[in-house]
Amino acid sequence: MDQTEFAARLGISRRTVSAIENGKPVVSTSLFMALEHFGLLDDIGEVVTALQKQIGTTKQRKQRKPPKVLSNDF
């Protein structure tokens, strides 16, 4: 199957297929459709879940520095 046929099956452009093959940024829905076509979508979900467990799912925001209190003794 060439890029043109694969793109037609997924309903995306041949350029998008080329971008996916070359690791260039694409719209996530196009990437997920390609992964699903090859039966790899569940595998990606497992990897993401494992990474979330490894690094923790909640990120802490940086605390803002408290505002400086300026004295009024001019």
Residue 44's closest CA among 56, 27, 58, 28? 28
CA dist., res. 33 & res. 10, Å (int): 7
Encode pLDDT of 32-73 as tens digits: 999 899 998 888 888 888 888 887 756 667 778 887 888 887
What's the pTM value of the predicted model, to 2 decimals? 0.59
Helix, strand, coil percentages, rounded to 5, for the chain: 55, 0, 45
- Count of residues in the chain: 74
Encode pLDDT of 9-25 as tens digits: 999 999 999 999 999 99
